[in-house]
Chains A and B, each alone.
Chain A
Amino acid sequence: MPSLIHAPVLIVAVLLLAAFVTPLIGKRPATVNAVFLGAGLVAFVLSLSMTVRVLAQGTLSYPVGGWPAPYGIVVLVDVFAAYSSLVLATVALIIFWFAAFGPREVRHNGAYFTLILLLTAAMQGMVMAGDLFNLFVFIEISSLAAIAIIAIKGTKESVEASFRYLVLSALGSGGLLFGIALIFMITGHLNMDYIRTTLTVTAEQYPLNLLTSIGLMGVGFGVKAALFPMHVWLPDAHSNAPTASSALLSGLVVKVYIIALMRITYLALGLEIFELLPIRHLFLALSTGALIVGSVFAMVQDNVKRLLAFSTVAQVGYIFLGFGLFSQRAIEGGVLHILNHAVMKSLLFLAAGVIIHQSGIKRLSQFSGLGRKMPLTFVAFTIGAMSMVGVPGTAGFISKLYLALGALDADMLIFAILILISSLLNAAYYFPIIISAFFGKESDAGATDPAFVVLAPVAVLAGMVFFFGLFPSIMVPLVRQTALLFVR
């Protein structure tokens, strides 16, 4: 099909279009759901075909509207972008299903779907953007949509959490904008390719400007990706949002900023930046902090969604750790963890949402015996938790294996040990939940497994945890080539 050449923009366009259509097509939920899921499905198919194409033919550079760079906007789909887009489209589609058929937590599904579609479109745009301006626009769309899908429940806590996120996120956006402006000042370009070529000449003339720009962008992305110690907004925001929002935010949104940051480093700044500046050491130090602090804080939580949110802080650390170690296997591990964590954290959030909705219980201390009443949901939760701990056969094990192997390749034994210790910490807060749910004293809360249509996305994600745990080789071509973008 010749139209598939346009897949990169079509993915974003279809989602955007659907975002505007859903509130307009009336009150019939069936029609709204059909448009909503249809858009997700189309995006998934397009993303898959685009990935296949990129694997076969190499990087795809698409000038929007036929206008060439440096004046036109260029969408640049390399293996990393294709991989990210595919992960986004796949996991988003499953979450869409849950948003459509899962428990109703918001009053107007039409408006809610608009926000979700906007957020997804912006994320897709972000991972494929080939120029900084376009990237910034998508970052802003996604930030605002994310704030709205937290606040949409309208409860006091969710509004407060989203306001806090708004403030910090705006601060991050400010940093990003300023950083981008400085880059533009130095190079006169916003297209990443042109920035890199120009920087080879001008970087030496404006070292301080460049340094400031990188610092500002680092903080901007750090806040948005919830890199320790800039994660303070995340636990409230992710735990007070509706279930589908939490899964999207924790599973996908935080990672998109990491992807964007890494794309800027190798596309715009050039890999030399890793040798000139101690970025790797910063990543290593901060991700170590994230692993420990995230896990320790998760341990003392009593609200299940807050626990999952703190766990995300730690897991984001793994991805940064992969880039910080910077050996090929470590980067493969970090990149794989983008997928694996998206799958398992969405699984956990959706399962937790089902549990909360069916039983009305949020507190872990009251989970006792619930597993026997809703076995399917808790088995799914257990699978997600085992993957978090890194039990072999699950997806989480594969990322940890690659990261630990990568740590030794980078001659940093201590990080291999750190990864294993963090697994132990994960076990220390996930396993007691499962044990008390299955073997604890019966509670008097009445709860049952929900209908199949609600459980289906949870089951699919649980299946994916095992699938990617047993057949990681299916992702190897993409992940290996992505790592080769960094390590040559």
Chain B
Amino acid sequence: MQATSYALTLPVMVPLLLAVVIYAVGQRSWQLRNGLSVAAALSSFLLVVQHYRTIMADVTLVAEFPELLPPLGVSFRMDHLGFLVAAVVSFVWLLVTIYSTAYMVKEHAKNRYYPFSVLTLAGAMGVVLSGDLFTFFLFFEMMSLSAYVLVIHEETAAAMRAGYRYLILTIIGGLALLFSIIAVFHQAGGVTFTPGGLPLEADGLAFFAYLGFLIGFGIKAGMVPLHVWLPEAHPVAPSPASALLSGLMLKIGAFGLIRVVFQVFGLEMMEATKWNDLLILLAAITIFLGSAVAITQDDIKRRLAYSSVGQMGYILLGIGLLQERALIGAIFHIFAHAFMKSSLFLAAGAIIYNTGKRKVSDWVGMGRSMLITMSVFTVAALSMVGVPPLVGFVSKWELALGALDAGSVAFVILLLLSSLMNFIYYFPLIQNAFFGEGLAHTAQAQPKRENVPLAMLVPMVVLAAVILIIDLLPYNIALELAERAAHSLFLTVK
């Protein structure tokens, strides 16, 4: 069922306009600037969740503006998938923005950070709520380009280098997407996300379009071998920005891929052409390589960044398998990984904020002095490993079932292997932090007490709490939404 609701544009337009206001007031009052930044994310979140009842009644909301930007037009759409991802993005953004208000105090150029963070939020919400490829692309570029400013925030030589690499790959990805969109428009005569897919022919042009999407979204999602910007860019950004980049923006790439696979090409065409095999192959390599390289990293933020590469592989695998349960796993993992990776980056940020120690090997005994922060870190890390009943377990469970539905045991083994590798790079760190004997010399000594402002602690604890209890609730709302989203994406085939 479809219904028109122009209120769909609000979660995008409110932060978009507030970004300008925040820049203007930022010169005069930092309280107002920080307050408005939090308000932007909060209002975005509330404007999304107000549609909860409608979405749960299986109504898809649309808002179309065909007169804008002819010949393709602009449109918005909110279905189960869009609702879930929009809610996750705006909620995590809200927590990270609250965290920023304390963390960024020590940083420079805050008047640049907040407007661009809110602008990036507007772009991300626009992507998630877009109703066609073209609108998707407009906001995708807006998000990617404004995120550049977050990446290079520190303006160190390393940050500028990483930022330049990010920028070039972003532009290449954007052009690949644009090419594919134009090709789709040429062949199908439209680019609206359509249940069951657009009327495309499986010819050479369509395959090139598929490759273009794979490149464009693969770059954004950190898919091997297009991930090269990610381990450079995520660590150099300020920690809250890393959380946004790693926790949320990567998901946008995966989200785009779901839209393209199921609502542009359509399940039938993907099954007939077997183009998904390429995606599965790359996803498998991504899972393995991301997790393996993470083990070798000593810088905590680099380790987390490589871990993100591996985790994105799960989501890509879940999409590529073309099985309903695998897709449930992929969609649920978008939610799960957003929460897990943000809390890891925020916890790491709190430790860096307090001690300046970025090296994992320097964290010996950290758990005893920074109990809350390390507990958050531990919960998220255990969830990454897949310990039940934490959220990471559910995604892996669904993914593994989906892999078996597809008839391949190999992927189940790969998932377990990757869990083992996750264990290898998280567990020793946690063990040392809580039980390791600090080397006697003073440089290794950890701070006496946990000197982290409340504005940083609360968001982390909230994230960890969600990871911890959402599966224990009688009604797992995220899983329910993921199931419905996957179901409706599969339902439309027949």
**Chain A interface residues toward B at CB < 8 A:** 329, 389, 391-393, 398, 401, 404-405, 408-409, 413, 416-417, 420-421, 423-424, 427-428, 431-432, 435, 439, 470-473, 476
B residues contacting the other copy or chain, number (CB 8 A): 30
Judge whether B70 and A404 touch: CB under 8 Å: no
Known contacts A413-B205, A416-B182, A439 near B141 by CB under 8 Å: no
How far apart sit A329 and B70, CA to CA, in the bound complex (Å)? 11
- List 13 extra interface pairs beyond A404-B179, A416-B183, A420-B178, CB under 8 A: A329-B71, A393-B141, A401-B182, A408-B182, A408-B186, A408-B205, A416-B179, A423-B175, A427-B167, A431-B167, A432-B164, A439-B155, A470-B69
For residue B168, CB closer than 8 A to chain A, the reply is yes
A413-B205, A473-B70, A476-B70 are known contacts. Are A404 and B182 too (CB-CB below 8 A)?
Answer: yes
B135 to chain A, nearest CB (A): 10
Is B138 in the interface zone, CB < 8 Å from A?
yes
Q: Which 7 A-B residue pairs are closest in the complex by CB-CB distance?
A: A408-B186, A420-B175, A392-B138, A427-B171, A404-B182, A392-B141, A439-B155
Query: Which A residues touch B401, using CB under 8 A?
Result: none
* Chain A residues within 8 Å of B67, by CB: 473
Which residues, 132 to 158 on B, are CB-close (under 8 Å) to A? 137-138, 141-142, 145, 152, 155
**A416 neighbours in B (Cβ, 8 Å):** 179, 182-183
Interface SS majority for chain B: helix
Q: Does residue B275 face the partner (Cβ distance < 8 Å to A)?
A: no
Q: A389-B171, A392-B142 are in contact. Are A404 and B164 (CB under 8 A)?
A: no
CA of A417 to CA of B182, assembled, Å: 11
Shortest A439–chain B CB gap in Å is: 5
Q: Which of B46-90 contact A (CB under 8 A)?
A: 67-72
A372 to chain B: closest residue by CB: B109
Contact between A424 and B155, CB atoms less than 8 A apart: no
Please pick, from B69, B164, B186, B205, the residue contacting A405 in the complex, using a CB distance under 8 A. B186
Q: Nearest A residue to B74 by beta-carbon distance? A: A470
B462, CB-defined interface residue at 8 Å? no
Residues of B within 8 A of A424 (CB): 171-172, 175
* Given A424-B172, A424-B175, A427-B168, also A435-B137 (CB < 8 A): no
Q: Does B285 contact A (CB under 8 A)?
A: no
On chain B, the residues within 8 Å of A471 by CB distance are 68
Report the Cα distance A408→B182, complex, angstroms: 8
Q: What's the minimum C-beta distance from B184 to chain A, rounded to whole angstroms?
A: 10
CB distance from B91 to the nearest CB of A (A): 27
- Residues of chain B contacted by A432 (CB below 8 angstroms): 164
Inside 8 A of B457's CB, which chain A residues have their CB? none
Is there contact, CB below 8 Å, between A408 and B183?
yes
A439 close to B186 (CB less than 8 A): no
> Residue of B at shortest CB range from A428?
B168
18 A-B pairs in the complex with CB atoms less than 8 angstroms apart: A392-B137, A398-B69, A404-B178, A405-B71, A405-B182, A408-B205, A413-B208, A420-B178, A421-B175, A423-B175, A424-B175, A432-B164, A435-B152, A435-B164, A439-B155, A470-B68, A472-B70, A473-B70
Min CB distance A240 to B, Å, is 32
